[in-house]
Amino acid sequence: MAKSYDAIIIGGGHNALTCAAYLAKAGQRVLVLERRHVVGGATITEEIYPGFKYSACSYVVSLLRPWIVRDLELPKHGYEVIPLEQTFTPFPDGRYLLRDADADSTRRSIAQFSKRDAEVYPLFGNAMSELGRQVKPIIDQPPPDPTSLDPREIFKLAGLGRHIGGHGETWTSAHIKMLTMSAVDFLSEWFESEQLIAPMAVSGIIGTFLGVRSPGTAYVLLHHYMGEIDGSFRSWGLSKGGTGQIANAIARSAQSFGAEIRTEASVERVLIERDCAVGVVLENGEEIRSTRVISGVDPHRTFLGLVGTEHLDSEFATQVTRFKMRGSSGKVNLALDGLPDFKCLPGHGRHLYGDITLAPDIDTLERAYDDAKYGEFSKTPFCDMVIPSLSDPSVAPPGKHVMSIFVQYAPYKLKEGPQDWENQREAFGDAVIDRIAEFAPNIRDLILHRHVLTPWDLEKTYGLTEGNIFHGELSLEQLAFMRPVPGWARYRTPVRDLWMCGSGTHPGGGVMGSPGAMCAKTMLGVK
């Protein structure tokens, strides 16, 4: 008789693997099914050219919850983070901004643009850390349901209200501003120099189809301030061996608890009998049964694809259809023969070891969004770059380097249609390299290999619908008790015994692990 499982998890992304690890640790028989030859989803290291290990999609880490790292003993399974301490922003006028762990040198760098901003900068950092701490209880537990009359829910909601509102009027208004303002407006309440506001504002547009001046982007800014590494709040880092090592560590942890993982096992549909999920059918026709099915893929793919609208209430199906995916990002991964030389700061100093941000001014960022609004990729895009091989030589051959370039905007829906990315992919790659060459002219001569990922590729290769990097935008109407659909935000779905554990559920995208862990905990009935 075919083996049956307590839970089948669709997709081998880091959230699915986290969910599997928690369930297996609790003694459940768990099977993870991943359609690709490798697990990790968007948390992946790929050696596309021999010797060069790309963090093909996600490239910096901070959001992975520390309690998950501890619970799953990830360091024992190979998880290691190298701190990323600098952010370097070159400007066309030959100046640059370098913010790093050294408070004095950061202050001096900011002071060339505004002495006042240099003084305010550490205060802003402290305020964001405090805001992040205040919302932490929200990201570390399933969202409360404000429509429920269950006294436990009302109590929970009141507790959260007290927690967030209990810090006084100033903090409450700061939270409201974060939820409603644009990143630029929010930052402009603190700072006056554009050279500081522009590179800081870009954290508010990552993964969204919004511009730095669009209301709601201040929240995405906060989302990127909520991380911590080894107890150090707001810090970011690089995963040793590439971000795929995070997924691999979680996979090893899950396997150590007894979970089974199958790759090249694409699920075609969820098996539903009498309105209840009872297993899955693979693309090769194989049928596997389980007591529960958990989807680690995005809400569109889960409900409109694997379940099918015929099994859904039409109102629910409409709400899922309305859930905004709208990919806006692309990625260019380079194999380099040496290091880029920036006109404003020649040489190979510490500025190359951190995050390199091409965000010279607010108008340029906003115009980059204008291009996307009308179905074109940006000709002067925002680029966020890291050269991981500088701090982690294991990812490139000796003397060579890998460079990871996150790019916005690259709209999924080109005006000629998304499939036209097949024709425009290389032009998009050229636009990115041209933009970098304005600041570091030697980049072209260094390129050994170029790997361009458009939103179309993110969909086709990594299974991200419309190339949305977060399984759905992190906009206010798609967060907390509304993610992915009001009334179904706590990992349960209207199909009995079908659960959700991916980034399309609370608290959203990023290499966080929370959706996966909280889905498992909710299923197990533990906190």
Ligand X SMILES: Cc1cc2nc3c(=O)[nH]c(=O)nc-3n(C[C@H](O)[C@H](O)[C@H](O)COP(=O)(O)OP(=O)(O)OC[C@H]3O[C@@H](n4cnc5c(N)ncnc54)[C@H](O)[C@@H]3O)c2cc1C
Query: What single-letter amino acid sits at 434?
Result: D
Binders of ligand X in range 443-462 (CB under 6 A): 458, 462
- Measured from the CB atom, the residue of 63 and 293 that comes closer to ligand X is 63
Helix axes 115-139, 151-165, angle to 10 degrees: 170
The CB density around residue 21, as the number of other CB atoms within 10 Å, is 33
266 binds ligand X (CB under 6 A): yes
Q: Which of 59, 191, 233, 428 forms a contact with ligand X (CB under 6 A)?
A: 59
Q: How far is the CB of 415 from ligand X (least distance, A)?
A: 22
Binders of ligand X in range 219-258 (CB under 6 A): none
- Measured from the CB atom, the residue of 58 and 106 that comes closer to ligand X is 58
Peptide bond into 92 cis (omega under 30): no
CB 282 within 8 A of CB 35: no
Q: Which of 31, 118, 238, 297 forms a contact with ligand X (CB under 6 A)?
A: 297
CB 86 within 8 A of CB 98: yes
End-to-end CA distance of the chain: 36
CB 61 within 8 A of CB 239: yes
Question: What is the rounded distance in angstroms from the CA atom of residue 227 to the CA atom of residue 64?
Answer: 7
Whose structure tokens read 């905990």?
521
**Among the residues of 257-402, which ranges form H helices?**
299, 314-322, 362-373
Cα–Cα distances in angstroms (integers) from residue 438 to residues 67, 333, 345, 369, in the given order: 43, 18, 13, 20
182 binds ligand X (CB under 6 A): no
Q: Which of 5, 7, 9, 14 forms a contact with ligand X (CB under 6 A)?
A: 14
- Measured from the CB atom, the residue of 125 and 305 that comes closer to ligand X is 305
41 binds ligand X (CB under 6 A): yes
**Token digits of residue 323:** 């859930």
The piece of 51-59, 91-99, 153-161, 339-347 that touches ligand X (CB under 6 A) is 51-59
261 binds ligand X (CB under 6 A): no
Whose structure tokens read 């389980």?
290
Please tell me the count of residues contacting ligand X according to CB under 6 A. 40
421 binds ligand X (CB under 6 A): no
352 binds ligand X (CB under 6 A): no
Q: Which of 90, 142, 144, 463 forms a contact with ligand X (CB under 6 A)?
A: 463
Q: Which of 10, 110, 196, 479 forms a contact with ligand X (CB under 6 A)?
A: 10
118 binds ligand X (CB under 6 A): no
Contact set with ligand X (CB under 6 A): 10-16, 33-36, 41-43, 57-61, 63, 266-267, 296-297, 301, 329, 331, 406, 458, 462-464, 469-471, 502-503, 509-511
